[in-house]
Amino acid sequence: MQKSKAGADELIALILEGIEEVKGQKINLLDLRDIENTVCDYFIICNGTSNTQVNAIVGSIRKTVSKATGDKPWHVEGEGNAEWILMDYVNVVVHVFQKQIREYYDIEGLWGDAKVTEVESSLNS
């Protein structure tokens, strides 16, 4: 397992750019660094309106990160049904949900001790 060549801040910025490129919604950044025994430092969570948009968000993140850094996700899960796709960039894990699936699993609620930052999308401004 190889750590990203990009620093966490750069990787997060690129992932957010990829999400916004295809109008991903309700973007949250969870900082897990102060929580013991976590698998990564950050979660980025967003949702799309359909499996087509969820796939588009994942594709946009892949392209944006790879073009800028050459990095690829260490592991990707859930592309089959595109209701919840997880992209593992080792120190940053991205969760791309369909809206109703995100509400059902409530990742933000499960990680209630994390510092949550709601990312203001350029779409909202």
Q: What are the residue ranges spanned by the domains of the chain? A: 8-108
Average pLDDT over residues 99-118: 95
pTM of the model: 0.92
- In the predicted model, what is the mean pLDDT of the chain? 92
Kindly state which CATH superfamily the domain 8-108 is placed in.
Beta Polymerase, domain 2 (3.30.460.10)
Q: In this model, does residue 63 exceed pLDDT 70?
A: yes
Tens of pLDDT, residue by residue over 90-100, are 999 999 999 99
Note every long-range contact of 107-115, with CB atoms under 8 Å and residues 24 or more positions apart, other chains counting.
107/30, 107/43, 107/45, 108/28, 108/30, 108/45, 111/30, 111/32, 111/35, 111/43, 113/34, 113/35, 114/30, 114/31, 114/32, 114/35, 114/43, 115/30, 115/31, 115/34
DSSP annotation of 41 reads S
Q: Is residue 125 very low, low, confident or very high in pLDDT (cuts 50, 70, 90)?
A: very low
pLDDT of residue 120: 83
More confident residue, 107 or 3: 107
